[in-house]
Structure 1
Amino acid sequence: MSLEATARPAATILLLRDGSDGIEVFMVVRHHAIDFAAGALVFPGGRVEEADFALAAQPVDHPVPGRPDTDGMAFRIAAIRETFEECGVLLARPRGSSGLVDAAALQRLDAQYRAALNAGSIGFDTVLEAEDLMPAPDLLVHFAHWITPVNQPKRYDTHFFLAEAPPEHLAVHDGTEAVESIWITPRQALADTEAGRFKLVFATAKNLEKLGRSGTVQEAMDAARAARVVTVQPKGTKLEGNKRLLRIPPEADYGGSEFIVDVLPAS
Protein backbone atom coordinates (compact mmCIF):
# COMPACT_ATOMS: atom_id res chain seq x y z
CA MET A 1 0.00 0.00 0.00
CA SER A 2 1.53 3.33 -1.09
CA LEU A 3 1.88 6.16 1.41
CA GLU A 4 -0.16 9.29 0.84
CA ALA A 5 2.04 12.24 -0.13
CA THR A 6 1.91 15.20 2.25
CA ALA A 7 0.32 18.32 0.81
CA ARG A 8 2.90 21.08 1.05
CA PRO A 9 1.65 24.56 1.97
CA ALA A 10 1.72 26.99 -0.97
CA ALA A 11 0.35 30.39 -1.87
CA THR A 12 -0.35 32.31 -5.04
CA ILE A 13 -1.53 35.79 -6.02
CA LEU A 14 -3.86 36.76 -8.82
CA LEU A 15 -2.47 40.19 -9.69
CA LEU A 16 -5.28 42.22 -11.23
CA ARG A 17 -5.68 45.35 -13.31
CA ASP A 18 -8.47 46.94 -15.34
CA GLY A 19 -7.97 46.68 -19.10
CA SER A 20 -9.82 47.91 -22.17
CA ASP A 21 -11.62 44.55 -22.50
CA GLY A 22 -12.31 44.09 -18.81
CA ILE A 23 -10.42 42.72 -15.84
CA GLU A 24 -6.95 41.33 -16.59
CA VAL A 25 -4.79 38.96 -14.54
CA PHE A 26 -1.03 38.49 -14.68
CA MET A 27 0.01 34.94 -15.55
CA VAL A 28 3.27 33.15 -16.27
CA VAL A 29 4.21 30.03 -18.21
CA ARG A 30 6.15 27.63 -16.03
CA HIS A 31 9.49 26.30 -17.23
CA HIS A 32 9.30 22.82 -18.75
CA ALA A 33 11.89 21.55 -16.24
CA ILE A 34 9.80 22.53 -13.20
CA ASP A 35 8.56 19.49 -11.27
CA PHE A 36 4.90 20.58 -11.08
CA ALA A 37 2.63 21.82 -13.90
CA ALA A 38 5.58 22.11 -16.29
CA GLY A 39 4.75 24.33 -19.26
CA ALA A 40 1.38 25.37 -17.81
CA LEU A 41 -0.03 28.87 -17.59
CA VAL A 42 -0.26 29.71 -13.88
CA PHE A 43 -0.51 32.54 -11.39
CA PRO A 44 2.73 33.57 -9.62
CA GLY A 45 3.27 31.62 -6.41
CA GLY A 46 5.07 28.80 -4.67
CA ARG A 47 5.73 27.00 -1.41
CA VAL A 48 5.41 28.52 2.02
CA GLU A 49 8.85 28.47 3.66
CA GLU A 50 9.79 28.29 7.34
CA ALA A 51 11.02 31.88 7.19
CA ASP A 52 7.54 32.97 6.07
CA PHE A 53 6.09 31.68 9.34
CA ALA A 54 8.68 33.68 11.30
CA LEU A 55 7.81 36.86 9.40
CA ALA A 56 4.11 36.14 9.86
CA ALA A 57 4.51 36.20 13.64
CA GLN A 58 5.82 39.78 13.59
CA PRO A 59 3.58 42.83 14.07
CA VAL A 60 2.23 44.59 10.97
CA ASP A 61 1.77 48.30 10.28
CA HIS A 62 -1.73 47.91 8.86
CA PRO A 63 -4.44 45.57 10.21
CA VAL A 64 -5.37 42.59 8.07
CA PRO A 65 -9.13 42.01 7.65
CA GLY A 66 -10.29 38.89 9.43
CA ARG A 67 -7.22 38.89 11.68
CA PRO A 68 -5.69 35.66 10.34
CA ASP A 69 -3.55 33.63 12.73
CA THR A 70 0.18 33.09 12.19
CA ASP A 71 -0.38 30.20 9.79
CA GLY A 72 -2.86 32.25 7.79
CA MET A 73 -0.46 35.18 7.69
CA ALA A 74 2.36 32.91 6.52
CA PHE A 75 0.42 32.10 3.35
CA ARG A 76 0.06 35.82 2.68
CA ILE A 77 3.75 36.49 3.31
CA ALA A 78 4.71 33.62 1.00
CA ALA A 79 2.43 34.98 -1.72
CA ILE A 80 4.06 38.42 -1.44
CA ARG A 81 7.58 36.95 -1.48
CA GLU A 82 6.90 34.65 -4.42
CA THR A 83 5.33 37.49 -6.41
CA PHE A 84 8.47 39.58 -5.99
CA GLU A 85 10.72 36.65 -6.86
CA GLU A 86 8.71 35.56 -9.89
CA CYS A 87 7.54 38.83 -11.42
CA GLY A 88 9.19 41.75 -9.64
CA VAL A 89 6.08 43.22 -8.01
CA LEU A 90 6.65 43.98 -4.33
CA LEU A 91 3.65 44.47 -2.06
CA ALA A 92 5.60 46.11 0.75
CA ARG A 93 5.81 49.55 2.33
CA PRO A 94 8.62 51.55 3.88
CA ARG A 95 8.13 51.14 7.64
CA GLY A 96 5.60 53.66 8.92
CA SER A 97 4.41 54.62 5.43
CA SER A 98 0.95 54.19 3.94
CA GLY A 99 2.25 53.90 0.37
CA LEU A 100 4.00 50.98 -1.32
CA VAL A 101 7.61 51.18 -2.45
CA ASP A 102 7.80 53.49 -5.46
CA ALA A 103 9.03 52.66 -8.96
CA ALA A 104 12.56 53.99 -8.42
CA ALA A 105 13.04 52.07 -5.18
CA LEU A 106 11.59 48.91 -6.70
CA GLN A 107 13.96 49.10 -9.66
CA ARG A 108 16.92 49.24 -7.28
CA LEU A 109 15.55 46.44 -5.08
CA ASP A 110 14.96 44.27 -8.12
CA ALA A 111 18.51 44.74 -9.38
CA GLN A 112 20.06 44.31 -5.94
CA TYR A 113 18.12 41.40 -4.48
CA ARG A 114 15.85 39.51 -6.85
CA ALA A 115 18.45 37.22 -8.43
CA ALA A 116 19.91 36.37 -5.02
CA LEU A 117 16.45 35.59 -3.66
CA ASN A 118 15.73 33.26 -6.57
CA ALA A 119 19.11 31.58 -6.07
CA GLY A 120 18.38 31.08 -2.38
CA SER A 121 21.53 32.89 -1.28
CA ILE A 122 19.57 35.41 0.80
CA GLY A 123 16.17 35.34 2.47
CA PHE A 124 13.21 37.65 2.07
CA ASP A 125 13.55 38.61 5.72
CA THR A 126 17.05 39.88 5.01
CA VAL A 127 15.76 42.15 2.26
CA LEU A 128 12.98 43.55 4.41
CA GLU A 129 15.30 44.20 7.35
CA ALA A 130 18.05 45.77 5.24
CA GLU A 131 15.60 48.12 3.52
CA ASP A 132 13.33 48.74 6.55
CA LEU A 133 10.29 47.47 4.68
CA MET A 134 7.07 45.91 5.94
CA PRO A 135 5.04 43.40 3.91
CA ALA A 136 1.52 44.54 3.03
CA PRO A 137 -0.67 41.45 3.63
CA ASP A 138 -3.66 43.73 4.18
CA LEU A 139 -3.78 44.34 0.41
CA LEU A 140 -4.50 40.66 -0.28
CA VAL A 141 -8.05 39.31 -0.41
CA HIS A 142 -8.54 35.57 0.19
CA PHE A 143 -10.05 34.08 -2.95
CA ALA A 144 -9.75 30.28 -2.91
CA HIS A 145 -8.26 27.23 -1.17
CA TRP A 146 -7.38 24.09 -3.13
CA ILE A 147 -5.69 20.87 -1.99
CA THR A 148 -4.25 18.42 -4.51
CA PRO A 149 -6.07 15.04 -4.58
CA VAL A 150 -4.61 12.34 -2.34
CA ASN A 151 -3.59 10.05 -5.19
CA GLN A 152 -1.11 12.52 -6.70
CA PRO A 153 2.65 12.08 -6.10
CA LYS A 154 3.17 15.84 -5.64
CA ARG A 155 0.56 17.56 -3.53
CA TYR A 156 -0.01 21.17 -2.49
CA ASP A 157 -2.28 22.90 0.01
CA THR A 158 -2.67 26.22 -1.81
CA HIS A 159 -4.36 29.45 -0.82
CA PHE A 160 -5.17 31.89 -3.63
CA PHE A 161 -5.31 35.64 -3.05
CA LEU A 162 -6.43 38.62 -5.13
CA ALA A 163 -4.37 41.81 -5.20
CA GLU A 164 -4.59 44.93 -7.33
CA ALA A 165 -1.31 45.37 -9.20
CA PRO A 166 0.46 48.61 -8.20
CA PRO A 167 0.44 50.74 -11.38
CA GLU A 168 4.09 51.77 -10.89
CA HIS A 169 5.32 48.17 -10.60
CA LEU A 170 6.21 46.52 -13.91
CA ALA A 171 5.41 42.82 -13.73
CA VAL A 172 7.82 40.60 -15.69
CA HIS A 173 8.65 36.90 -15.42
CA ASP A 174 11.96 35.81 -13.87
CA GLY A 175 13.21 33.79 -16.85
CA THR A 176 14.01 30.82 -14.61
CA GLU A 177 10.89 29.23 -13.11
CA ALA A 178 8.72 31.24 -15.52
CA VAL A 179 9.67 31.59 -19.19
CA GLU A 180 6.82 33.76 -20.46
CA SER A 181 4.38 36.21 -18.92
CA ILE A 182 1.21 37.89 -20.02
CA TRP A 183 -1.59 40.19 -18.89
CA ILE A 184 -4.76 38.51 -20.07
CA THR A 185 -8.49 38.49 -19.45
CA PRO A 186 -9.83 35.30 -17.88
CA ARG A 187 -12.04 34.78 -20.93
CA GLN A 188 -9.07 35.00 -23.31
CA ALA A 189 -6.92 32.68 -21.19
CA LEU A 190 -9.63 30.03 -21.27
CA ALA A 191 -10.25 30.50 -25.01
CA ASP A 192 -6.53 30.29 -25.83
CA THR A 193 -6.29 27.11 -23.78
CA GLU A 194 -9.23 25.62 -25.67
CA ALA A 195 -7.43 26.53 -28.92
CA GLY A 196 -4.26 24.74 -27.78
CA ARG A 197 -2.06 27.77 -27.14
CA PHE A 198 -1.80 27.22 -23.37
CA LYS A 199 -2.15 24.44 -20.80
CA LEU A 200 -4.13 24.98 -17.61
CA VAL A 201 -4.39 22.76 -14.56
CA PHE A 202 -7.94 22.26 -13.29
CA ALA A 203 -7.68 24.60 -10.29
CA THR A 204 -6.30 27.44 -12.42
CA ALA A 205 -9.05 27.04 -15.01
CA LYS A 206 -11.81 27.05 -12.41
CA ASN A 207 -10.38 30.10 -10.66
CA LEU A 208 -10.17 31.92 -14.00
CA GLU A 209 -13.81 31.10 -14.61
CA LYS A 210 -14.78 32.45 -11.20
CA LEU A 211 -12.65 35.58 -11.63
CA GLY A 212 -14.20 36.17 -15.05
CA ARG A 213 -17.61 36.79 -13.48
CA SER A 214 -16.32 40.24 -12.44
CA GLY A 215 -15.88 43.02 -14.94
CA THR A 216 -13.51 45.20 -12.91
CA VAL A 217 -10.87 44.84 -10.22
CA GLN A 218 -13.16 46.49 -7.67
CA GLU A 219 -15.99 44.08 -8.48
CA ALA A 220 -13.66 41.09 -8.09
CA MET A 221 -12.26 42.30 -4.78
CA ASP A 222 -15.72 43.10 -3.39
CA ALA A 223 -17.09 39.72 -4.47
CA ALA A 224 -14.17 37.89 -2.86
CA ARG A 225 -14.56 39.81 0.41
CA ALA A 226 -18.24 38.91 0.53
CA ALA A 227 -17.81 35.23 -0.34
CA ARG A 228 -17.01 32.30 1.95
CA VAL A 229 -13.89 30.41 0.88
CA VAL A 230 -14.67 26.68 0.78
CA THR A 231 -11.76 24.25 0.68
CA VAL A 232 -11.66 22.22 -2.54
CA GLN A 233 -9.94 18.84 -2.68
CA PRO A 234 -11.08 17.18 -5.91
CA LYS A 235 -11.97 13.51 -5.84
CA GLY A 236 -11.34 11.79 -9.14
CA THR A 237 -12.55 8.77 -11.07
CA LYS A 238 -10.41 7.55 -13.97
CA LEU A 239 -12.13 7.49 -17.31
CA GLU A 240 -10.80 6.55 -20.74
CA GLY A 241 -7.30 7.80 -21.61
CA ASN A 242 -6.20 10.90 -19.68
CA LYS A 243 -9.75 11.90 -18.85
CA ARG A 244 -10.94 12.08 -15.25
CA LEU A 245 -14.25 12.78 -13.60
CA LEU A 246 -13.47 15.28 -10.84
CA ARG A 247 -15.91 16.02 -8.04
CA ILE A 248 -15.71 19.17 -5.91
CA PRO A 249 -18.02 20.69 -3.27
CA PRO A 250 -20.91 22.54 -4.97
CA GLU A 251 -20.80 25.18 -2.21
CA ALA A 252 -17.34 26.20 -3.42
CA ASP A 253 -19.24 28.08 -6.16
CA TYR A 254 -17.43 26.94 -9.30
CA GLY A 255 -20.57 26.37 -11.31
CA GLY A 256 -21.06 22.70 -10.55
CA SER A 257 -19.81 19.70 -8.63
CA GLU A 258 -18.71 17.26 -11.38
CA PHE A 259 -16.36 18.00 -14.27
CA ILE A 260 -14.73 15.81 -16.92
CA VAL A 261 -11.20 17.01 -17.59
CA ASP A 262 -7.99 16.04 -19.34
CA VAL A 263 -5.47 15.75 -16.50
CA LEU A 264 -2.05 17.33 -17.06
CA PRO A 265 0.95 15.26 -16.00
CA ALA A 266 2.51 16.27 -12.68
CA SER A 267 5.97 16.48 -14.23
Structure 2
Amino acid sequence: MFRNNKSRMRGFSLRAFQTRMNAVWFNGGMSDVQADCLSGFTAAYLIYNNVLGRHVPVSWLAYILATTYHETAATMEPIEEYGKGVGRPYGEPDPETGQIYDGRGYVQLTWKDNYQKAQDEVVDFRTMKHDVPLVAQPDLAMTPWVAAQVAIVGMAEGWFTGKKLSDYLTDTMTDYVNARRIINGTDKAQTIAAYAIEVEDALHLAHGDGIARSVVRDGSSGDDVRELQLMLALSPDGISGPDTVNAVMLFQAANLLQVDGVCGKDTWAALDREIYGL
Protein backbone atom coordinates (compact mmCIF):
# COMPACT_ATOMS: atom_id res chain seq x y z
CA MET A 1 0.00 0.00 0.00
CA PHE A 2 1.26 3.47 -0.85
CA ARG A 3 1.51 6.14 1.82
CA ASN A 4 0.46 9.72 1.10
CA ASN A 5 3.48 11.92 0.47
CA LYS A 6 2.69 15.61 0.87
CA SER A 7 6.25 16.95 0.65
CA ARG A 8 8.32 17.08 -2.52
CA MET A 9 11.38 14.88 -2.87
CA ARG A 10 14.88 16.30 -2.85
CA GLY A 11 16.70 16.81 -6.14
CA PHE A 12 17.80 13.82 -8.18
CA SER A 13 20.70 13.46 -10.62
CA LEU A 14 19.80 10.87 -13.25
CA ARG A 15 23.35 11.09 -14.58
CA ALA A 16 24.76 10.16 -11.17
CA PHE A 17 22.37 7.24 -10.81
CA GLN A 18 22.93 5.85 -14.28
CA THR A 19 26.70 6.29 -14.20
CA ARG A 20 27.02 4.54 -10.84
CA MET A 21 24.77 1.68 -11.99
CA ASN A 22 26.66 1.45 -15.27
CA ALA A 23 29.88 0.97 -13.32
CA VAL A 24 28.50 -1.50 -10.78
CA TRP A 25 26.15 -3.64 -12.89
CA PHE A 26 27.19 -3.28 -16.52
CA ASN A 27 31.01 -3.00 -16.43
CA GLY A 28 30.78 0.45 -18.01
CA GLY A 29 29.04 -0.87 -21.11
CA MET A 30 25.40 -0.12 -20.39
CA SER A 31 23.19 -0.61 -23.45
CA ASP A 32 20.37 1.65 -24.60
CA VAL A 33 17.85 -0.96 -23.38
CA GLN A 34 19.43 -1.03 -19.93
CA ALA A 35 19.52 2.78 -19.81
CA ASP A 36 15.85 2.96 -20.89
CA CYS A 37 14.92 0.59 -18.10
CA LEU A 38 16.66 2.68 -15.45
CA SER A 39 15.10 5.84 -16.93
CA GLY A 40 11.62 4.30 -16.87
CA PHE A 41 11.92 3.33 -13.24
CA THR A 42 13.39 6.63 -12.11
CA ALA A 43 10.73 8.57 -14.02
CA ALA A 44 8.00 6.58 -12.27
CA TYR A 45 9.77 6.99 -8.91
CA LEU A 46 10.03 10.77 -9.26
CA ILE A 47 6.53 11.27 -10.67
CA TYR A 48 4.89 9.04 -8.06
CA ASN A 49 6.63 10.89 -5.24
CA ASN A 50 6.60 14.46 -6.55
CA VAL A 51 3.44 14.66 -8.65
CA LEU A 52 1.02 11.90 -7.67
CA GLY A 53 1.75 11.81 -3.94
CA ARG A 54 2.33 8.04 -3.95
CA HIS A 55 5.28 7.51 -1.62
CA VAL A 56 7.90 5.14 -3.06
CA PRO A 57 10.84 4.96 -0.63
CA VAL A 58 14.43 4.51 -1.80
CA SER A 59 14.46 0.98 -0.37
CA TRP A 60 11.40 0.01 -2.42
CA LEU A 61 12.88 1.19 -5.71
CA ALA A 62 16.21 -0.43 -4.82
CA TYR A 63 14.58 -3.80 -4.28
CA ILE A 64 12.31 -3.55 -7.33
CA LEU A 65 15.29 -2.80 -9.57
CA ALA A 66 17.30 -5.61 -7.98
CA THR A 67 14.42 -7.96 -8.76
CA THR A 68 14.25 -6.68 -12.33
CA TYR A 69 17.99 -7.18 -12.79
CA HIS A 70 17.66 -10.77 -11.61
CA GLU A 71 14.45 -11.65 -13.44
CA THR A 72 15.73 -10.31 -16.78
CA ALA A 73 19.21 -11.90 -16.43
CA ALA A 74 20.72 -8.38 -16.36
CA THR A 75 19.30 -7.42 -19.78
CA MET A 76 16.76 -5.05 -18.15
CA GLU A 77 14.47 -5.80 -21.06
CA PRO A 78 10.75 -6.49 -20.57
CA ILE A 79 10.07 -10.07 -21.58
CA GLU A 80 7.03 -12.03 -22.69
CA GLU A 81 6.38 -15.45 -21.20
CA TYR A 82 7.99 -18.24 -23.18
CA GLY A 83 5.27 -20.06 -25.12
CA LYS A 84 2.79 -17.22 -24.48
CA GLY A 85 0.84 -19.22 -21.93
CA VAL A 86 0.21 -22.25 -24.14
CA GLY A 87 -1.50 -24.97 -22.11
CA ARG A 88 -2.64 -22.53 -19.43
CA PRO A 89 -6.11 -21.01 -19.14
CA TYR A 90 -4.78 -17.47 -19.57
CA GLY A 91 -3.01 -18.59 -22.76
CA GLU A 92 -6.32 -18.80 -24.63
CA PRO A 93 -7.68 -15.79 -26.56
CA ASP A 94 -10.18 -13.86 -24.47
CA PRO A 95 -13.70 -14.21 -25.96
CA GLU A 96 -14.42 -10.48 -25.57
CA THR A 97 -11.15 -8.87 -26.65
CA GLY A 98 -9.44 -11.63 -28.62
CA GLN A 99 -6.26 -10.88 -26.67
CA ILE A 100 -4.05 -13.35 -24.81
CA TYR A 101 -3.12 -12.26 -21.29
CA ASP A 102 0.09 -14.21 -20.86
CA GLY A 103 3.05 -12.98 -18.82
CA ARG A 104 4.64 -9.72 -19.90
CA GLY A 105 6.93 -7.15 -18.31
CA TYR A 106 9.87 -7.05 -15.92
CA VAL A 107 7.83 -9.01 -13.40
CA GLN A 108 5.34 -11.18 -15.26
CA LEU A 109 1.78 -9.85 -15.42
CA THR A 110 -0.74 -12.60 -16.25
CA TRP A 111 -4.56 -13.02 -16.48
CA LYS A 112 -7.04 -10.48 -17.82
CA ASP A 113 -8.14 -9.42 -14.35
CA ASN A 114 -4.58 -8.45 -13.51
CA TYR A 115 -4.21 -6.50 -16.75
CA GLN A 116 -7.37 -4.63 -15.76
CA LYS A 117 -5.95 -4.03 -12.29
CA ALA A 118 -2.76 -2.68 -13.83
CA GLN A 119 -4.73 -0.51 -16.26
CA ASP A 120 -6.47 1.09 -13.29
CA GLU A 121 -3.09 1.94 -11.71
CA VAL A 122 -0.67 2.77 -14.53
CA VAL A 123 -0.33 6.45 -15.45
CA ASP A 124 0.52 7.87 -18.87
CA PHE A 125 3.35 10.30 -18.06
CA ARG A 126 2.21 12.63 -20.84
CA THR A 127 -1.33 13.06 -19.53
CA MET A 128 -0.89 12.09 -15.87
CA LYS A 129 -4.08 10.08 -16.24
CA HIS A 130 -4.95 6.40 -15.92
CA ASP A 131 -5.58 6.09 -19.65
CA VAL A 132 -3.16 3.37 -20.75
CA PRO A 133 -5.36 0.71 -22.49
CA LEU A 134 -3.63 -2.41 -21.20
CA VAL A 135 -6.70 -4.63 -21.56
CA ALA A 136 -7.20 -3.75 -25.22
CA GLN A 137 -3.47 -3.62 -25.94
CA PRO A 138 -1.66 -5.97 -23.51
CA ASP A 139 1.62 -5.60 -25.40
CA LEU A 140 1.87 -2.14 -23.84
CA ALA A 141 3.04 -4.01 -20.73
CA MET A 142 6.31 -4.52 -22.62
CA THR A 143 7.16 -0.80 -22.78
CA PRO A 144 9.70 0.27 -20.12
CA TRP A 145 7.66 3.03 -18.49
CA VAL A 146 4.59 0.76 -18.22
CA ALA A 147 6.55 -2.32 -17.14
CA ALA A 148 8.26 -0.24 -14.46
CA GLN A 149 4.94 0.93 -13.02
CA VAL A 150 3.51 -2.59 -13.05
CA ALA A 151 6.53 -3.79 -11.08
CA ILE A 152 6.32 -0.88 -8.60
CA VAL A 153 2.57 -1.04 -8.01
CA GLY A 154 2.37 -4.82 -8.16
CA MET A 155 5.13 -5.31 -5.60
CA ALA A 156 3.77 -2.50 -3.42
CA GLU A 157 0.27 -3.97 -3.35
CA GLY A 158 1.11 -7.67 -3.27
CA TRP A 159 -0.22 -8.72 -6.68
CA PHE A 160 2.21 -11.58 -7.21
CA THR A 161 2.26 -13.70 -4.04
CA GLY A 162 0.19 -11.69 -1.57
CA LYS A 163 3.36 -10.38 0.08
CA LYS A 164 4.14 -6.71 -0.44
CA LEU A 165 7.04 -4.30 -0.06
CA SER A 166 5.76 -2.77 3.17
CA ASP A 167 5.92 -6.21 4.82
CA TYR A 168 9.72 -6.05 4.67
CA LEU A 169 10.79 -2.48 3.92
CA THR A 170 9.63 0.26 6.29
CA ASP A 171 11.04 3.31 8.07
CA THR A 172 12.39 1.01 10.79
CA MET A 173 13.13 -2.21 8.88
CA THR A 174 15.10 -3.06 5.75
CA ASP A 175 14.87 -6.79 5.12
CA TYR A 176 16.03 -7.24 1.55
CA VAL A 177 16.54 -10.98 2.03
CA ASN A 178 12.97 -11.88 2.99
CA ALA A 179 11.56 -9.34 0.53
CA ARG A 180 12.16 -12.04 -2.08
CA ARG A 181 8.90 -13.60 -0.84
CA ILE A 182 7.07 -10.85 -2.74
CA ILE A 183 7.96 -12.68 -5.97
CA ASN A 184 9.29 -16.18 -5.40
CA GLY A 185 9.79 -17.60 -1.92
CA THR A 186 13.46 -17.35 -0.98
CA ASP A 187 14.99 -18.32 -4.33
CA LYS A 188 18.27 -16.39 -4.81
CA ALA A 189 17.26 -14.15 -1.88
CA GLN A 190 20.80 -13.32 -0.73
CA THR A 191 21.98 -12.55 -4.26
CA ILE A 192 19.10 -10.17 -4.96
CA ALA A 193 19.53 -8.51 -1.55
CA ALA A 194 23.14 -7.71 -2.49
CA TYR A 195 21.93 -6.15 -5.75
CA ALA A 196 19.45 -4.02 -3.81
CA ILE A 197 22.20 -2.59 -1.61
CA GLU A 198 24.11 -1.55 -4.75
CA VAL A 199 21.03 0.24 -6.10
CA GLU A 200 20.36 1.89 -2.75
CA ASP A 201 23.88 3.36 -2.77
CA ALA A 202 23.35 4.72 -6.30
CA LEU A 203 20.02 6.26 -5.33
CA HIS A 204 21.51 7.95 -2.27
CA LEU A 205 24.30 9.29 -4.46
CA ALA A 206 21.76 10.63 -6.97
CA HIS A 207 19.93 12.42 -4.16
CA GLY A 208 23.17 14.13 -3.12
CA ASP A 209 23.68 12.17 0.09
CA GLY A 210 27.15 10.99 -0.85
CA ILE A 211 28.31 7.39 -0.54
CA ALA A 212 31.40 5.63 0.73
CA ARG A 213 33.90 5.13 -2.08
CA SER A 214 37.43 3.80 -1.98
CA VAL A 215 40.52 5.94 -2.44
CA VAL A 216 41.62 5.42 -6.05
CA ARG A 217 45.31 5.55 -6.84
CA ASP A 218 47.64 3.98 -9.37
CA GLY A 219 46.97 0.22 -9.38
CA SER A 220 43.52 0.41 -7.78
CA SER A 221 40.74 -1.67 -9.34
CA GLY A 222 37.00 -2.25 -9.02
CA ASP A 223 33.66 -0.55 -9.45
CA ASP A 224 34.75 2.77 -7.91
CA VAL A 225 37.60 2.97 -10.42
CA ARG A 226 35.18 2.21 -13.24
CA GLU A 227 32.80 4.95 -12.10
CA LEU A 228 35.70 7.40 -11.88
CA GLN A 229 36.75 6.50 -15.41
CA LEU A 230 33.21 7.01 -16.69
CA MET A 231 33.07 10.41 -14.98
CA LEU A 232 36.34 11.40 -16.64
CA ALA A 233 35.31 10.04 -20.08
CA LEU A 234 37.95 7.30 -20.02
CA SER A 235 37.70 3.68 -21.12
CA PRO A 236 36.04 1.99 -18.10
CA ASP A 237 38.27 -1.04 -17.64
CA GLY A 238 38.11 -0.75 -13.84
CA ILE A 239 41.91 -0.57 -13.41
CA SER A 240 43.62 2.69 -12.50
CA GLY A 241 46.72 3.15 -14.64
CA PRO A 242 48.61 6.12 -16.11
CA ASP A 243 45.63 7.43 -18.12
CA THR A 244 43.39 7.45 -15.06
CA VAL A 245 46.02 9.05 -12.83
CA ASN A 246 46.77 11.74 -15.42
CA ALA A 247 43.07 12.51 -15.88
CA VAL A 248 42.63 12.84 -12.13
CA MET A 249 45.61 15.22 -11.94
CA LEU A 250 44.17 17.39 -14.72
CA PHE A 251 40.83 17.51 -12.93
CA GLN A 252 42.51 18.36 -9.64
CA ALA A 253 44.51 21.17 -11.21
CA ALA A 254 41.41 22.63 -12.88
CA ASN A 255 39.52 22.56 -9.58
CA LEU A 256 42.29 23.94 -7.33
CA LEU A 257 42.79 20.66 -5.49
CA GLN A 258 46.03 19.03 -4.40
CA VAL A 259 47.48 17.59 -7.61
CA ASP A 260 48.59 14.09 -6.65
CA GLY A 261 46.60 11.83 -8.98
CA VAL A 262 44.89 10.20 -6.00
CA CYS A 263 41.09 10.35 -5.93
CA GLY A 264 40.19 10.65 -2.27
CA LYS A 265 37.34 12.30 -0.38
CA ASP A 266 37.93 15.86 -1.61
CA THR A 267 38.39 14.85 -5.24
CA TRP A 268 35.32 12.62 -5.17
CA ALA A 269 33.28 15.51 -3.74
CA ALA A 270 34.53 17.87 -6.45
CA LEU A 271 33.74 15.30 -9.14
CA ASP A 272 30.22 14.87 -7.77
CA ARG A 273 29.72 18.64 -7.97
CA GLU A 274 31.25 19.14 -11.40
CA ILE A 275 30.08 15.99 -13.20
CA TYR A 276 26.81 15.18 -11.49
CA GLY A 277 25.75 18.65 -10.33
CA LEU A 278 25.42 17.46 -6.73
TM-score, structure 2 normalization: 0.29
Bigger fraction of residues in strand: 1
Which structure is larger by alpha-carbon Rg, 1 or 2?
2
| TM-score, structure 1 as length reference | 0.30
Q: Of the two structures, which has the highest relative contact order with CA contacts closer than 8 Å and spacing of 6 or more?
A: 1
